[in-house]
Amino acid sequence: MQGTPCPFGWYRSVDMTGFAAFLLLATACQSATNPITICIDPGHPSEVGLGTRGKDVTEIHIAWVVAKKLEEILKKQKVNVVLTKQSENQFVKNVDRAKVGNECHADLMIRLHCDASSGTGFTTYFPDHQGTQNGFTGPDPALIKRIAPIAKRFHEVLRHDLDGFLKDNGLLSDDKTAVGSKYGALIASIHSQVPVVLVEMCVLTNPKDEALVSNADSQARLAEALADACVKSLDKSR
């Protein structure tokens, strides 16, 4: 890799390999001129699997495409953006995804996924109590208290912006997910030191949802709504 663009507008040469180098780069690529940093986590592949699959597209692909569109929109708004992985199919454990958000001191970490169920629409999840994974308990109670109003504002904006576009399934606790029910919270939430929300952007096993999120215009609208929710969720005056 010849160089990696950073929000400063300069390029930092990268001659290291491995995830440690990526964490170092994520920390270095923060601008001192903008107070907001958003960490985008495109879901899967990770230690919990490859994610769900529709008839024609995968969760990995949709999460990556929307993440890149979201990154572009936020950067145009002069927001610092860090992604938890560098390529669509890069394997990153959920603990390491949390580390990226922690290392860049993100004001918000947004995790993008697609659901598998008999339903339709989008759902927002957040940790409202601690969980334990591999003997580690988190997130910190003070962080849980910080996350709640951010998650509420985030979901309110997302619901407003996607009204009539995707069905709103509500703002729910991490423990309402399959992984969260096992550990008490999602793994990345447990290890997070920054505010974190997870969005199941659609039900990919629903043909109508799959067709919708496979469309470039719909992906752009979804990314715009997510960007709006990210920024406005951090506005304490709302």
pLDDT score for 76? 96
| pTM of the complete model | 0.86
pLDDT score for 2? 34
pLDDT score for 106? 98
Distance CA(150)–CA(197), nearest Å, equals 9
Q: What is the pLDDT of residues 22-51, one digit of tens each?
A: 554 554 444 445 589 999 999 999 988 898
Cβ count within 10 A of residue 129: 12
Contact 23, 86 (CB under 8 A): no
pLDDT score for 60? 98
pLDDT score for 49? 87
Q: What is the CATH number of domain 33-233?
A: 3.40.630.40
pLDDT along the chain (238 residues), means of 10: 34 42 49 76 92 95 98 96 97 97 98 95 98 97 98 98 97 96 97 98 97 97 98 80
CA 107 to chain CA centroid, nearest Å = 12
Contact 12, 25 (CB under 8 A): yes
pLDDT score for 32? 46
